[in-house]
């Protein structure tokens, strides 16, 4: 074993776990791996504990763990900046699981494992909502009675760790300081978000109160006329849980094309499957429309950045979005692979 101090970063999702181990001093990547997790209930708990122990064993072969970093999707108004998580404040954080049910419970599972098995090591949570804490007040508000805003019903925005990283990388490519950059950033993967960055500050974001809003996604509906929801509940007598399942798990690309796998969708487009073509065109259309809307609040745009497994990974998507898009002529299009774990590691170094 070497004498390196290490940062171990957990990025847990509903069906996956990614981790990366960094040298604390240099932030050099030491080791990384990802796992698919399909198990539910007790089986999942057993698997997660086994994976956690395996990661600790791996880390210990490279050095001593200085801190654990965790991506947490939703911190509401209570958790904004990177925060050291303890047994005392994790109960407060658990209150927000309902705001991001596909994410927060799984994010917190590895914090709990760390608190249980490695209580001597600090756990620091970095929040996807943090980067968007100061977006335009006009965007924070929904046009419902003001009392709900004061009850913390507002636009929070998500994928902030990724958007912040892309801002950093784009500024290097453009050879400009972050504070001088006006960007539109499209994070496109299983979940999708589009942000407007003015002078290095996020001023708007397509995702809202939960990770369900904005453009359509793999299985999530994105923005929808609320009257549709009222109609569906009345006509089909759906419970809240049934409607939640439809919007989160049966909608988006899956709801239109019958597949949530983007490679399968593209194969369907190539084979002229009408449902796949419709889903692909809807997806690109909504992204294009959102990009165009941000010109109205930015006026000047230095670059449009694409990231996420779809955004930076599939050129056909970018080409379709920018086709016949005169508004963005002569504006650089930057596909940039995101690195949320490195951004989390950078933020850990600011508080430990």
| Domain locations in the chain as residue ranges | 4-127, 177-340
Q: How far apart are the first and last CA of the chain?
A: 23
Judging by DSSP bridges, how do beta strands 333-335 and 303-307 pair with one another? parallel
The active-site residue, picked from 23, 128, 273, 302, is 128
Which of 72, 71, 162, 69 minimizes the C-alpha distance to 352? 69
Residues 6+ apart with CB under 8 A from 64: 3, 4, 5, 6
How many percent of the chain have pLDDT more than 70? 99
Q: What is the pLDDT of residue 2?
A: 62
C-alpha closest to that of 332 among 295, 301, 303: 303
Q: On the CB side of 100, how many CA atoms lie within 13 Å of its CA?
A: 30
**Residues 307-351: tens digit of each pLDDT:** 999 999 999 999 999 999 999 999 999 999 999 999 999 999 999
pLDDT of 16 strictly over 70: yes
pLDDT digits (tens, 9 = 90+) for 139-183: 999 999 999 999 999 999 999 999 999 999 999 999 999 999 999
Q: What is the CATH number of domain 4-127?
A: 3.30.420.40
Mean pLDDT of the chain: 96
**Predicted TM-score of the model (pTM):** 0.94
- Is there a shared CATH topology between the 4-127 domain and the 177-340 domain? yes
23 is catalytic: no
Pick the closest to residue 67 from 348, 343, 340, 346 (CA basis). 348
- Per DSSP, helices labelled H in the chain are 41-60, 87-94, 104-117, 137-140, 146-149, 160-174, 226-236, 240-249, 252-257, 262-270, 274-298, 308-311, 315-322, 340-349
3-state percent breakdown (helix, strand, coil) of the chain, nearest 5: 45, 20, 35
Q: What is the CATH number of domain 177-340?
A: 3.30.420.40
Q: What are phi and psi for residue 305, nearest 5 degrees?
A: -105, 140
- Residues 26/31/34/39 CA torsion (nearest 10 deg): -110
Q: What is the pLDDT at residue 198?
A: 98
Note the pLDDT of residue 13. Answer: 84
């Amino acid at each position: 074993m070497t004498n390196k101090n290490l940062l171990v970063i957990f990025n847990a999702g509903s069906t996956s776990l990614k981790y990366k181990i960094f040298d604390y001093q240099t932030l050099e990547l030491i080791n990384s791996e990802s796992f698919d997790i399909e198990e539910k209930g007790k089986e999942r708990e057993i698997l997660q504990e086994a994976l956690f122990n395996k990661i600790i064993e791996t880390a210990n072969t490279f050095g001593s763990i200085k801190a654990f970093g965790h991506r947490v999707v939703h911190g509401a108004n209570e958790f904004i900046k990177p925060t050291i998580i303890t047994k005392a404040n994790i109960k407060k954080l658990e209150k927000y699981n309902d705001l991001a049910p596909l994410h927060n419970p799984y994010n917190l599972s590895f914090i709990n494992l760390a608190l249980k098995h490695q209580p001597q090591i600090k756990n620091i949570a970095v929040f996807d909502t943090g980067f968007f804490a100061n977006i335009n007040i006009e965007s924070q508000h929904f046009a419902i009675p003001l009392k709900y805003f004061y009850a913390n019903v507002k636009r929070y925005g998500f994928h902030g760790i990724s958007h912040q990283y892309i801002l950093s990388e784009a500024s290097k490519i453009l050879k400009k300081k972050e504070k001088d950059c006006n960007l539109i950033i499209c994070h496109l993967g299983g979940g999708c978000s589009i942000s407007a960055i003015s002078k290095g500050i996020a001023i708007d974001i397509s995702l809202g109160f939960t990770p369900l809003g904005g453009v359509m996604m793999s299985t999530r509906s994105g923005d929808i006329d609320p009257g549709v929801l009222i109609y569906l509940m009345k006509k089909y007598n759906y419970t809240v849980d049934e409607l939640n399942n439809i919007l989160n798990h049966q909608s988006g690309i899956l709801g239109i094309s019958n597949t949530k796998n983007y490679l399968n969708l593209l194969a369907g487009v190539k084979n002229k499957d009408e449902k796949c073509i419709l889903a692909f065109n809807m997806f690109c259309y909504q992204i294009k429309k959102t990009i165009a809307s941000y010109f109205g609040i930015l006026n000047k745009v230095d670059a449009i950045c694409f990231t996420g497994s779809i955004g930076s990974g599939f050129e056909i998507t970018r080409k379709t979005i920018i086709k016949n898009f005169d508004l963005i002529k002569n504006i650089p299009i930057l596909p940039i692979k995101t690195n949320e774990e490195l951004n989390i590691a950078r933020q850990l170094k600011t508080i430990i």
